[in-house]
């Protein structure tokens, strides 16, 4: 099984066993409309299918990993420690897009990464490399954007960060080889998922409290109307004979139960905090239309036996 290349808040490594337990005995193609870090996808290594995310820079990253892994690795190896001096031969050696002083190499790379939202200019390979570099050197591995789409997470504290991730990139590239990658709304999946396919939804969670918007990592939010559209999409897929598994916060329990899905509460530890003692367990649900008698259960966790 491949390991995710990116650290990603809301990742599903803590819920893998619970998700696998609800997999159907057999399915055709696999689809994941809210991809993020792709923990489940890379663990099962599906032969084909589709993935999607609304963040264009994240989508570009996976396209470059799939199509140009060696070029990406070469560029990553050229980068310096985040606390190094700025590269005077590159743009933003003194000030960033907001005319603020550049403190060190990390903030120069962050400014270069933000070319797309502030100038509409970007090089796909460089943007992908910078995304991984920043992901591995920023504070807690967070991904967060301001209202204009600018990545704004500060530098992290790492003595020897590994931003190259060469072997993971090569493994993930092979897994993605026959996967179509989209940058669309999640409803795209109704066009691609057919009877007998499996769709896993991992949307931005409905917060447990008014101050709990811990998954708002892009300039575009995901509100209550989007949650309703997602439920309607899951119902449409169900009617078309598509297997659906969905995770969300505990407050969504009643909505999915009333819609006829099998819903259970699970606990998952949020692993984005750098301090392991402060990784809180939050209440989550897993909803599915896979009938109990048709589930794989805990006895199998590898895609080879699903195909």
Assess if residue 177 is contained within a domain.
no
Distance CA 72, CA 126 (A): 8
Assess if residue 169 is contained within a domain.
no
190 in the same domain as 43: yes
213 in the same domain as 109: no
283 in the same domain as 193: yes
Domain boundary among 163, 197, 215: 163
Distance CA 208, CA 186 (A): 22
72 in the same domain as 17: no
288 in the same domain as 207: yes
194 in the same domain as 154: no
Q: Are 142 and 153 in contact (CB under 8 A)?
A: yes
How many C-beta atoms surround the C-beta of residue 169 within 10 A? 23
Instruction: Give Cα 183 to chain centroid, integer Å.
Output: 12
Cα-Cα end-to-end distance for the chain: 15
Assess if residue 113 is contained within a domain.
yes
Of 11, 14, 13, 22, nearest in space to 243 by CA: 22
297 in the same domain as 209: yes
Instruction: Give Cα 162 to chain centroid, integer Å.
Output: 19
108 in the same domain as 74: yes
Distance CA 66, CA 84 (A): 30
pLDDT at 96: 96
Assess if residue 174 is contained within a domain.
no
**CATH number of the domain within which 145 lies:** 1.10.1020.10
Q: Which residues pair with 263 in a beta bridge?
A: 287
Residue 253 structural domain: 13-54+184-305
**CATH number of the domain within which 32 lies:** 3.40.50.150
DSSP letter (8 states) at residue 289: -
Of 244, 278, 271, nearest in space to 259 by CA: 244
Domain boundary among 163, 198, 233: 163
Instruction: Give Cα 226 to chain centroid, integer Å.
Output: 18
pLDDT at 282: 65
Residue 278's SS3 state is: helix
Distance CA 136, CA 132 (A): 6
H or E element in which residue 264 lies: strand 262-269
Burial of 223 (0-12, 13-18, 19+ CB in 10 A): exposed
118 in the same domain as 19: no
* Concatenated DSSP letters of 178-239: TEEEE-S-GGGHHHH--TT-EEEE-PPPPPSSTT--TT--SSS---HHHHHHHHHHHHHHHH
Assess if residue 176 is contained within a domain.
no
Of 88, 84, 143, 83, nearest in space to 113 by CA: 143
Assess if residue 152 is contained within a domain.
yes
Assess if residue 214 is contained within a domain.
yes
Alpha helices by DSSP H, the chain = 16-20, 39-44, 56-67, 69-77, 105-113, 115-119, 124-137, 166-175, 189-192, 224-239, 253-258
289 in the same domain as 140: no
pLDDT at 216: 41
Report the interhelical angle of 56-67 vs 124-137 (nearest 10°).
110
Q: How many domains does the chain have?
A: 2
31 in the same domain as 142: no
235 in the same domain as 258: yes
User: Across the 307 residues of the chain, what is the mean pLDDT of every consecutive 10-residue run?
Assistant: 90 85 97 96 96 97 98 98 97 96 98 96 97 97 94 95 98 98 98 98 76 42 92 98 96 96 80 45 88 82 38
Distance CA 284, CA 263 (A): 10
Assess if residue 179 is contained within a domain.
no
Q: Are 200 and 19 in contact (CB under 8 A)?
A: yes
């Amino acid at each position: 099984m491949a390991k995710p290349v990116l650290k990603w808040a809301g990742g599903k490594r803590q819920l893998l066993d619970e998700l696998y337990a609800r997999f159907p005995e057999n399915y055709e193609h696999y689809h994941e409309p809210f991809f993020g870090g792709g923990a489940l996808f890379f663990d099962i290594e599906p032969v084909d299918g589709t993935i999607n995310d609304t963040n264009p820079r994240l989508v570009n990253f996976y396209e470059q990993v799939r199509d140009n892994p060696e070029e990406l690795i070469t560029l990553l190896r050229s980068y310096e420690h985040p606390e190094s001096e700025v590269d005077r031969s590159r743009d933003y050696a003194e000030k960033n897009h907001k005319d603020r002083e550049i403190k060190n190499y990390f903030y120069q790379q962050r400014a270069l990464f933000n070319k797309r939202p502030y100038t509409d200019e970007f090089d796909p390979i460089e943007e992908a490399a910078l995304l991984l570099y920043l992901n591995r050197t920023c504070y807690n591995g967070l991904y967060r954007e301001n209202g204009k789409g600018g990545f704004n997470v500060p530098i992290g504290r790492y003595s020897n960060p590994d931003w190259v991730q060469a072997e993971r990139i090569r493994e993930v590239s092979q897994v993605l080889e026959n996967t179509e990658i989209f940058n669309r709304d999640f409803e795209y999946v109704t066009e691609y998922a057919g009877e007998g396919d499996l769709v896993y939804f991992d949307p931005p969670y409905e917060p447990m409290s008014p101050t709990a918007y811990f998954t708002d990592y892009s300039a575009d939010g995901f509100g209550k109307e989007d949650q309703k559209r997602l439920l309607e999409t899951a119902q449409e897929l169900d009617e078309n004979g598509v297997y659906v598994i969905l995770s969300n916060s505990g407050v969504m329990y009643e909505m999915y139960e009333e819609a006829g899905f099998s819903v259970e509460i699970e606990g998952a530890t949020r692993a984005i905090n750098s301090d392991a003692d402060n990784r809180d367990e939050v209440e989550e649900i897993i909803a599915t239309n896979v009938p109990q008698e048709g589930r794989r259960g805990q006895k199998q966790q590898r895609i080879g036996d699903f195909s």
